[in-house]
């Protein structure tokens, strides 16, 4: 029964036992679980709807890059059976509908306050409670704060000079208006070639009068092979969903390689590009196309091998894009495959063969300023009606450092994380008692499929909160030594990977934002090992945490 008294925790002077910040996938599921366990929960959400990422990122082409049948929750077999996915990779509208269905099906909306962003959260040491100030001027007091704020939710937009003088419309893919943007026949400029830009560009090209792509770094992107899911494929997965979910929960990346999933060419550990012949590489190109760059076992660890794989990728770009100068600009040159999250596309490179699409290579022709008519580069003004920023996120830490988040002794999280985020297994931060994070820094992060990953994390946090309540505790805090030890383990696990290669700048390591500390706060040891560790912490009576 939800919302009823729970031993040792419920206190009528509090507005809630637990405030959850965010009503995306993790906030919705945490609300369901924690309220079922008897906690009084309030969810605060800045958006006008639920869904988090899948609410905000409604730009043309927005789509998940994980197969739908796996990018979904497994906590309720009935939900699994009743929900039908239409495509291998679901589009944003379908996932948003799914999350709204979950909010309705489990009657979650009554505890969610929409359009209520959190401005500040302050730990009150005298009462072991959090005081939360909303952007709407309300104040709430709760025993615990659960941050379901997401790793890719704090939008980043470069501050180009003159931006406020632009006479046209400026939009961001990650803040796309609910009532859409007028695009038909217009002169559109787009900045950014990560997953968001690469997905949006082919769609925008189909409706724009002219599309100009402003590119700072060329993308590694592979054809998604997306297609409709057949009834048979769906039925086959649904018939053995329990077994597949068990595989997801126990695997390093929360995957089960379902038949409904599009199987990608994966690296063969025994196939080495360094010892391959030109004929073997040519044959790989003929057989695998762009994916010829992904089949080599040595490319993940050895930069010379990686560069040879990159050259195969470049060859495919040159074979696809007709204009040799444009093709050359679209060839990644300065960073290895595997440094950034692989991007999946639907006709990205082919889009640059269209007569209504042009590329501005910012390496050769940098932006000088934005003017009322468009964007002035070194070579002249590109006239635009709409300027779209697909420029990514202040990732992993940004959603929390943008809040005035004060822990013990008035310390500010933004200051504590000035040299990069530090946390104990992503669950909590030393100095910030009674605060939990779902998939925070130091967890496996975005590398593991989110819905099953969220289920595991929320389950662990809910058990911990239940343990605290059942034993009458009101204070829990990460021990600094446990945090230091875990951060060292995260760092060690990342050694030698492409994520931390010297030439790698990405949102994973903070290198996408000028001035941000370069730290790679994601555990590469795999979700299976991570959860084994989390379970052993629980079994030990929560070693690494001070409880009273
Ligand atoms: O962001 P990004 P994203 N001037 O940081 C460029 C998930 N996601 O929103 O590489 C010019 O990857 C920047 O250039 P550079 C997924 O995990 C998933 O696209 O920094 N350009 C880069 O090209 C993904 O990894 C899905 O030099 C500037 C781009 O903007 C993550 O979100 C869909 C610039 C930003 O790319 C982030 O993806 C969408 C500047 N000043 C997102 N600043 C799917 O499921 C930045 N850029 C498929």
Mutation probe of ligand 1 site: the residue of 62, 70, 192, 368 with most atoms within 8 A of C-beta: 192
Task: Give pLDDT tens digits along the chain (548 positions).
Answer: 454 444 444 456 899 999 999 999 999 999 999 999 999 999 999 999 999 999 999 999 999 999 999 999 999 999 999 999 999 999 999 999 999 999 999 999 999 999 999 999 999 999 999 999 999 999 999 999 999 999 999 999 999 999 999 999 999 999 999 999 999 999 999 999 999 999 999 999 999 999 999 999 999 999 998 999 999 999 999 999 999 999 999 999 999 987 555 656 678 899 999 999 999 999 999 999 999 999 999 998 899 999 999 999 999 999 999 999 999 999 999 999 999 998 999 999 999 999 999 999 999 999 999 999 999 999 999 999 999 999 999 999 999 999 999 999 999 999 999 999 999 999 999 999 999 999 999 999 999 999 999 999 999 999 999 999 999 999 999 999 999 999 999 999 999 888 998 899 999 999 999 999 999 999 999 999 999 999 999 999 999 999 99
- Bridging pattern class, strands 210-215 and 357-361: parallel
Check pocket membership of 449 for ligand 1, CB cut-off 6 A: no
Residue 327 has which token pair?
Answer: 């093709």
| Whether the Cβ atoms of residue 534 and residue 460 lie closer than 8 Å to each other | yes
227-265: b (≥16 Cβ within 10 Å) or e = eebeeebbeebbeebeebbebbbebebbbbebebbeeeb
502-524: b (≥16 Cβ within 10 Å) or e = eebbbbbbbbbbeebeebbbbbb
Under DSSP, the state recorded for 27 is H
Bridge partners, 387 (sequence order):
170, 189
Q: CA 531 to CA 536: how far, in whole Å?
A: 8
Tokens 């090992």 belong to 529
Note the pTM of the prediction, 2 decimals.
0.95
Secondary element (H or E) of residue 380? strand 380-383
Check pocket membership of 150 for ligand 1, CB cut-off 6 A: no
Mutation probe of ligand 1 site: the residue of 191, 390, 391, 444 with most atoms within 8 A of C-beta: 391
Residue 481 has which token pair?
Answer: 């030594």
Secondary element (H or E) of residue 222? strand 221-223
Q: CA 507 to CA 170: how far, in whole Å?
A: 23
Question: What pLDDT, in 10s, does the model give residues 380-425?
Answer: 999 999 999 999 999 999 999 999 999 999 999 999 999 999 999 9
Closest listed residue to residue 427, CA positions, set 376, 461, 459:
461
521 C-alpha vs ligand 1 centroid, how far in Å? 18
Q: Which atom of ligand 1 is nearest to the CA of 446?
A: 17
Check pocket membership of 157 for ligand 1, CB cut-off 6 A: no
Give me the half-sphere count of Cα atoms (radius 13 Å) on the Cβ side of residue 376.
Answer: 11
Atom 41, ligand 1: residue with shortest CA distance: 158
Atom 37, ligand 1: residue with shortest CA distance: 392
Atom 10, ligand 1: residue with shortest CA distance: 217
Question: What pLDDT, in 10s, does the model give residues 233-284?
Answer: 999 999 999 999 999 999 999 999 875 556 566 788 999 999 999 999 999 9
Q: CA 501 to CA 494: how far, in whole Å?
A: 10
Q: CA 366 to CA 353: how far, in whole Å?
A: 23
Tokens 């994916």 belong to 291
Check pocket membership of 400 for ligand 1, CB cut-off 6 A: no
């Amino acid at each position: 029964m939800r919302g009823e008294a729970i031993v040792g925790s419920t206190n009528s002077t509090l507005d809630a036992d637990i405030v959850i910040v965010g009503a995306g996938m993790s906030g919705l599921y945490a609300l369901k679980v924690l309220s079922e366990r008897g906690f009084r929960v309030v969810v605060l959400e800045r958006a006008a709807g639920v869904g988090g990422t899948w609410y905000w990122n409604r730009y043309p082409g927005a789509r998940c890059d994980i197969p739908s049948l796996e990018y979904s929750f497994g906590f309720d077999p009935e939900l699994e059976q009743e929900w039908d996915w239409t495509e291998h990779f679901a589009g944003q509208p379908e996932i948003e509908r799914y999350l709204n269905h979950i909010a309705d099906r489990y009657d979650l909306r009554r505890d969610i306050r929409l359009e209520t962003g959190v401005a500040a959260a302050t730990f009150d040491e005298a009462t072991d409670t959090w005081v939360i100030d909303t952007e709407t001027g309300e104040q709430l007091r709760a025993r615990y704060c659960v941050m379901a704020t997401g790793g890719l939710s704090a939008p980043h937009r470069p501050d180009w000079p003159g931006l406020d003088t632009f006479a046209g419309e400026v939009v961001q893919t990650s803040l796309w208006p609910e009532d859409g943007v007028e695009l038909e026949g217009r002169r559109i400029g787009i900045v950014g070639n990560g997953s968001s830009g690469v997905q949006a560009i082919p769609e925008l090209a189909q409706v724009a009068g002219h599309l100009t792509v402003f590119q700072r770094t060329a993308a590694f992107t592979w054809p998604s092979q997306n297609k409709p899911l057949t009834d048979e494929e769906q039925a086959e997965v649904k018939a053995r969903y329990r077994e597949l979910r068990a595989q997801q929960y126990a695997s390093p990346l929360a995957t089960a390689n379902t038949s409904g999933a599009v199987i990608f060419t994966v690296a063969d550990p025994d196939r080495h590009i360094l010892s391959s012949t030109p004929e073997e590489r040519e044959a790989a190109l003929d057989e695998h196309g762009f994916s010829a760059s992904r089949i080599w076992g040595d490319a993940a660890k050895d930069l010379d091998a990686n560069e040879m794989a990159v050259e195969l990728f470049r060859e495919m770009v040159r074979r696809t894009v007709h204009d040799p100068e444009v093709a050359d600009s679209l060839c990644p040159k300065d960073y290895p495959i595997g440094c950034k999250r692989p991007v999946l596309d639907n006709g990205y490179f082919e889009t640059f063969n269209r007569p209504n699409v042009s590329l501005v290579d910012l390496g050769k022709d940098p932006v000088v300023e934005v003017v009322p008519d468009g964007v002035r580069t070194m070579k002249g003004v590109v006239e635009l009606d709409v300027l779209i920023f697909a420029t990514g996120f202040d990732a992993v830490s940004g959603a929390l450092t943008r809040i005035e988040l004060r822990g013990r002794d008035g310390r500010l999280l933004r200051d504590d994380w000035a040299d990069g985020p530090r946390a104990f297994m992503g669950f909590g931060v030393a100095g910030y008692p009674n605060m939990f994070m779902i998939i925070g820094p130091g967890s496996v992060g975005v590398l593991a499929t989110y819905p099953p990953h969220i289920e595991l994390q929320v389950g662990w946090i809910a058990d911990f909160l239940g343990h605290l309540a059942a034993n009458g505790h009101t204070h829990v805090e990460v021990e600094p030594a446990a945090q230091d030890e875990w951060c060292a383990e995260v760092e060690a696990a990342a050694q030698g990977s492409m994520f931390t290669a010297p030439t790698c700048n990405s949102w994973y390591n903070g290198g996408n934002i000028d001035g941000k500390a370069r730290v790679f706060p994601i555990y590469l040891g795999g979700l299976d090992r991570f959860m084994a560790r989390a379970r052993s912490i629980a079994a030990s009576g929560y070693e690494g945490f001070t409880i009273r």
